[in-house]
Amino acid sequence: MSTDEAEILAQRLSALLPGEVKVAVTGIASLGAQRRTLFLDVYESATGRTTKAVAQIAGAGLESNIVETVEHEARLLRAAELAGVVVPHILAANPESGTIISELVEGESIPRRILRLVEARPELGAKLAADCGRAFGMIHQIPTAAFEDLQELGDPERYAAEMETLLDSLADPHPTFRLGVSWLRRHASPFEGVPVIVHGDFRLGNFLASDRGLTAVLDWELVHRGDPMEDLAWLCLRTWRFGADALVAGGFGSLEDLRTAYEKAGGQWREEGFRWWTVARTLWWGLGLARQAQAYLDGLSTSIVLAASGRRVVELEYDLLRLMDDSSSS
């Protein structure tokens, strides 16, 4: 980013914040296709205080769904903070420009760095698993009345049908994924309770952690209403353990520590639902990787990341077969 562009952005961001403030762009965390993340210094003229902040800005050519996502994310972050969840405090949100500005939270987000912290201090893994369990409990108790416009995605039959539609859209056959759809239908575990707020992407890489434990829950773009067990299962997928397979809770802690803290925070654990969603989200992610690979093969993208996704499809097929076998024999 050039100096001139940084200054223009700083002026635009200053206009979104309340009071007399001056913004300086101090760094770039990422420049994605849909969003870019910038580090900021926000100087308040009245108090002389400087606040470290982060701005997430949607890319050019905003689509309405991105605007809606920004609006939902800002509302949910504020509701989550009121519920006691550790999240970045929002300083300003502007759906029209696709921008959210929040206070900077210290911590690591890169999975390997978090796992190294746990390797150096094994007791941190139990603390982090418990922190995640408590965060889930708080998220699932966020009042849903203000979020009835969120999609409800917890119905097992509807979910299986959507997975089958995704599978049918692929050019190559995937018999393992086809078997997975059949398994979901045979072992459906409906959630009888009132649908809750489901984060949808709470896993290693999408939260901040330090040697004190969990410091912030990030990436609320996939939030919806549904079965709370979906959230807990997603954190525990083998694909998000990054090699630390023995530690079921995200590669850093035990399932027991996660479950105990979740229940103490008011959550109700359903083992059958947890297993079903573990299979369901493994299937979902496998299909997602296969679709990314197909986009590359079809010439819709030249991204090496999408090409590499195709090499990982077999990992998810392996995981899926293991999960279905474990469930059938338990």
Q: What is the dihedral of CA 80, 86, 88, 91, to 10 degrees?
A: 60
> Are residues 173 and 270 located together in one domain of the fold?
yes
Model confidence at 60, pLDDT cuts 50, 70, 90, reads: low
Domain span including residue 319? 122-205+223-329
Q: How far apart are CA 315 and CA 322, in angstroms?
A: 11
Model confidence at 73, pLDDT cuts 50, 70, 90, reads: confident
> Are residues 37 and 171 located together in one domain of the fold?
no
Joined together, the tokens standing for residue 23 give: 């913004």
Model confidence at 33, pLDDT cuts 50, 70, 90, reads: very low
Q: Give the closest residue to 212 by CA, choosing from 109, 299, 127, 96.
A: 127
> Are residues 40 and 99 located together in one domain of the fold?
yes
Among 45-54, 229-238, 263-272, the minimum mean pLDDT is found in 45-54
> Are residues 127 and 99 located together in one domain of the fold?
no
Q: Give the CATH number for residue 28.
A: 3.30.200.20
245 found inside a domain: yes
Q: How far apart are CA 100 and CA 22, in angstroms?
A: 17
298 found inside a domain: yes
Q: How far apart are CA 44 and CA 301, in angstroms?
A: 43
Residue with tokens 């995200």: 250
> Are residues 164 and 309 located together in one domain of the fold?
yes
> Are residues 172 and 275 located together in one domain of the fold?
yes
216 found inside a domain: no
327 alpha-carbon distance from chain centroid: 26
> Are residues 97 and 163 located together in one domain of the fold?
no
- What values do phi and psi take at 159, rounded to 5? -60, -45
115 found inside a domain: no
**Pick from 73, 103, 133: which residue ends a domain?**
103
**Position with higher pLDDT, 269 vs 16:** 269
Q: What radius of gyration do the chain's Cα atoms show?
A: 21
Amino acid 315: pLDDT: 96
Q: Give the number of other Cβ atoms within 10 Å of residue 255's Cβ.
A: 17
Q: Give the number of other Cβ atoms within 10 Å of residue 81's Cβ.
A: 14
Residue with tokens 């200053």: 14
**Pick from 103, 134, 169: which residue ends a domain?**
103
pLDDT at 161 over 60: yes
**Position with higher pLDDT, 1 vs 89:** 89
> Are residues 156 and 297 located together in one domain of the fold?
yes
pLDDT in tens, 102-124: 999 999 999 999 999 999 999 99
213 found inside a domain: no
Indicate the residue type of 266. Answer: G
Model confidence at 191, pLDDT cuts 50, 70, 90, reads: very high
Contacts of residue 271, Cβ cutoff 8 Å, sequence gap at least 6: none
> Are residues 201 and 162 located together in one domain of the fold?
yes
16 found inside a domain: yes
* Overall domain count for the chain: 2
Per DSSP, the chain holds a count of helices (H) and strands (E) of: 10, 9
